[in-house]
Amino acid sequence: MTPGLDALSRRDLLRAGAGAALAAYGLAGCGIGHGIRGDVNRVIEPKVDGDLFYFNYSQYINPALVKEFEKRYDVRVIESYFDSMEGMLAKLRSGNAYDVMFPTAEYVQRLIQQEQVLRIPRDKLENLDNIYGYFNDPWYDPDSAHSVPYSLYITGIGYRADILGDLTGSWDDLANEEAAGRIYVLDDYQEALAAGNLRNGFEMNTVVESELNTTEEWLVGLKPLLRGFSVDTITTMSSGNAWIQHLWNGDIINIRYRVDDPDAYVFEKITQDGFPVGSDAFCIPVNSEHPGTALLFIDFMLDPKNAAKNVSWNGYPMPNHGQDETFQELAKGDPNIVVTVDDLEGGDQFANLPQDDRELWTNTFLEVKAS
Amino acid sequence: MLAPAGVWLLLLFAVPMGIVVLVSLGRTDPIFEAVYGWHPGNYADVFDPLFAPVLLRSVTYALATVALCLLIGYPIAYYIARFGGRWKTLLIAAVVLPFLVNYLVRTYAWVAILSDEGLANGILQDVGLAENGVRFINTSWAVIGGLVYGYLAFMILPLYAALDRMDPALIEAGKDLYGNRWQTFWHVTWPAAFQGVVAGCVLVFLPAVGDFISAQLLGGPDTYMVGNLIQQQFLEAQNWPFGAALTIVMMGFLLIWMLLYVRSATRASREASA
């Protein structure tokens, strides 16, 4: 036998296995990475109580505004990033303490259910009146008690009008033969399945297995035409790799900032089949150590002048009347990127699916990717 | 004397791996939090036929990476060891220097180089070799290229160590015995430095098979690797127990290769001292 490994006998292995089984039994029901805990009803005031630990997608807020906030309140803003809602949850569950984060609507609902976000004292925010009335009592956060909306988005298709001309307004444009080998679908199970569900005439949030199987077949059928799955939509389009990219409305603004011929890059709203519409929001995690500074930051971003500055950099509309004119100007050449209250009220928003249904969705997408 | 190493291994390897094993036996509760338990069925799910092509692809890419790293790395290591002279240290430093940059950043650099309007296509079009450009990125070869770039140093360093240790007189002896260059290399150099080859192959194969960054950034719709699968389970699916079970099974598979290497190294060491 190999020296050093002689000591590892069958008995040792059996002991280790039994030890693992006992440990598993003893720990049964205990949470792994138990997440963050705290008093959701903690009373907080908008005042400087330390530096701000900010947790968001990267490049989703105007850095000039961050600097302005730092200067105005003499605090530092320490930025951390996630690249998906699931990644955000994973980092939260590890016990990291952030002061402000930006979950999407269904994740706000989930965080409220898990008691992981603080109640926001709405009466203490000076600029809340600028927010669209729709968000006074949104479906995901009754009475808007735990969140303040940040931005709006719709999912559609970005494409090279200079090469492809006009498209049809349907999710079938992701199967455009002329662009074969230069098409990307979002590497996001919700968005990919939503496109398929809507294209096939199903409810966007369907959990009917036969319908999801049909969507899966459609996505697998797309694969020979695809160049890849990617959420790095700005890079794929601005680098010339993509002629058609499944993407969010604000990204087309960012793409146009980076290319020589901005008018060639167009956003298509999928009016024929329907499209996902959504929002994300400011939330304060229940274990925030500086919630006062977080409230000041939220109020600062709600200021109409700052909202206008943010959208002109970000490209995503905010549900804030202060930015309406600025965003209309930005969207002048491309009204498809505007998100209206009608879109929110009548459109398809992602639901906070229960665990079994979510597993069905993620397994369906896994089968698409692995096949 | 072994205590510090033992404590290190315990705290930074045994304990974390133990936690991963325990997680792999858990389940996800209705609010998507992972809890400990006794659910060995997670391991049965690992052997779903759906994942067989993913595993096969990962092994194929890793083997291709090893082969290319060996083809590229051996001449580099040989040159530095045999002809580097007083520049040896500097040359080895030059090999290692890019690795001070984060792997993700280096892979992103390749995205910029290999894109349709990137540096590579720009040069090809300027010199008239490819008027419409070449599709480099989002292909299996881009993934393998990214893996080769990412792990080449892990091949060069052990090869260099083995070749540098080799007595140059052995090569002279080979030539004295009327061996030509190729015969001397095959019958003298290759066997003498073979442990370096094995070490390099193992050090490249192990991380390459579990890599996910190259496939994610450089790959296409059909380049899904087992590393992407594990990442998807932990992040997107929030299914930590299944992700942990996949990790343990993959580690078990890789452990076999590791043990073969240890056995080979021990045998070689015994033969050398005999």
Per the CB < 8 A criterion, the answer to whether A114 and A35 are in contact is yes
Q: Which residues pair with B135 in a beta bridge?
A: none
CATH class of residue range A52-152+278-346: alpha beta
B39, B235, B264, B266: best to mutate for the A interface, most A CBs within 10 A: B235
Whether B236 sits inside 8 A of A371 (CB atoms) is no
Average pLDDT rounded to a whole number, residues A35-58: 89
Contacts of B29 in chain A (CB under 8 A): 355
Q: Which CATH architecture has domain A154-275+356-370?
A: 3-Layer(aba) Sandwich (3.40)
Contacts of A113 in chain B (CB under 8 A): 31
Lowest mean pLDDT among A30-44, A200-214, B142-156: A30-44
Q: Does B26 touch chain A (CB under 8 A)?
A: yes
Instruction: Say whether pLDDT at A37 is over 50.
Output: yes
Lowest mean pLDDT among A284-288, B5-9, B56-60, B68-72: B5-9
Question: Tens of pLDDT along A64-111?
Answer: 999 999 999 999 999 999 888 888 888 888 788 999 999 999 999 999
Question: Tens of pLDDT along B86-135?
Answer: 999 999 999 999 988 999 999 999 998 999 888 999 999 999 888 888 99
The number of C-beta contacts closer than 8 angstroms across A and B is: 137
Instruction: Say whether pLDDT at A172 is over 80.
Output: yes
Q: Please give the pLDDT value at position B13.
A: 87
Per the CB < 8 A criterion, the answer to whether B237 and A366 are in contact is yes
Scanning every residue of chain B, which has its alpha carbon at the shortest distance from the alpha carbon of A115? B31
Q: Please give the pLDDT value at position A260.
A: 92
In A246-281, which positions are buried (b, 16+ CB within 10 angstroms) versus exposed (e)?
A: bbbbbbbbbbbeebeeeeebbbbbbeebbbbbbbbb
Residue listed under structure tokens 């209206």: A340
Lowest mean pLDDT among A5-9, B216-220, B258-262: A5-9
Whether A370 sits inside 8 A of B137 (CB atoms) is no
Contacts of B266 in chain A (CB under 8 A): 2-4
Among B residues 178-237, those touching chain A with beta carbons less than 8 Å apart: 216-217, 219-222, 224, 228-229, 232, 234-237
pLDDT-derived band of residue A15, with 50, 70 and 90 as boundaries?
Answer: low
Of A5, A33, A371, the CB nearest to B34: A33
Which of B203, B80, B78, B231 minimizes the C-alpha distance to B147? B203
Q: Please give the pLDDT value at position A32.
A: 57
pLDDT-derived band of residue A5, with 50, 70 and 90 as boundaries?
Answer: very low
- For all residues of chain B together, what is the average pLDDT? 89
Secondary structure of residue A155 in the 3-state scheme: strand
Question: Tens of pLDDT along B10-54?
Answer: 888 889 999 999 999 998 876 667 788 888 889 998 888 888 899
Q: Please give the pLDDT value at position A17.
A: 52
Per the CB < 8 A criterion, the answer to whether A339 and A171 are in contact is no
**Which residues are CB-neighbours of B182 under 8 A, at least 6 positions away?**
none
Whether A31 sits inside 8 A of B33 (CB atoms) is yes
Which of B152, B160, B181, B19 minimizes the C-alpha distance to B82? B160
pLDDT-derived band of residue A1, with 50, 70 and 90 as boundaries?
Answer: very low
Domain ranges of chain A: 52-152+278-346, 154-275+356-370
Cβ burial of A339 (10 Å; 0-12, 13-18, 19+) is buried
What is the DSSP secondary-structure string of A37-100? ---TT----SS--S-EEEEE-TT-S-HHHHHHHHHHHT--EEEEE-SSHHHHHHHHHTT---SE
Instruction: Dig out the tokens for A14 from the structure.
Output: 């059996």
Q: Please give the pLDDT value at position B121.
A: 92
- For all residues of chain A together, what is the average pLDDT? 89
Give the distance, in angstroms, between the CA of residue B120 and the centroid of all CA atoms in the same chain. Answer: 25
Scanning every residue of chain B, which has its alpha carbon at the shortest distance from the alpha carbon of A355? B30
Helices (H) and strands (E) in chain A, counts: 14, 9
Whether A366 sits inside 8 A of B33 (CB atoms) is no
Topology alike, domains A52-152+278-346 and A154-275+356-370 = yes
Domain ranges of chain B: 56-273
Q: Please give the pLDDT value at position B156.
A: 96
Of B37, B112, B117, the CB nearest to A28: B37
Of B22, B54, B117, the CB nearest to A240: B117
Contacts of B220 in chain A (CB under 8 A): 226-228
Per the CB < 8 A criterion, the answer to whether A100 and A282 are in contact is yes
Cβ burial of A190 (10 Å; 0-12, 13-18, 19+) is buried
Of B35, B53, B236, the CB nearest to A30: B35
Q: Please give the pLDDT value at position A320.
A: 93
Q: Please give the pLDDT value at position A40.
A: 83
CATH 3.30.300.30 is held by the domain B56-273: no
Among B residues 71-110, those touching chain A with beta carbons less than 8 Å apart: none
Secondary structure of residue A303 in the 3-state scheme: coil
Q: Please give the pLDDT value at position B263.
A: 84
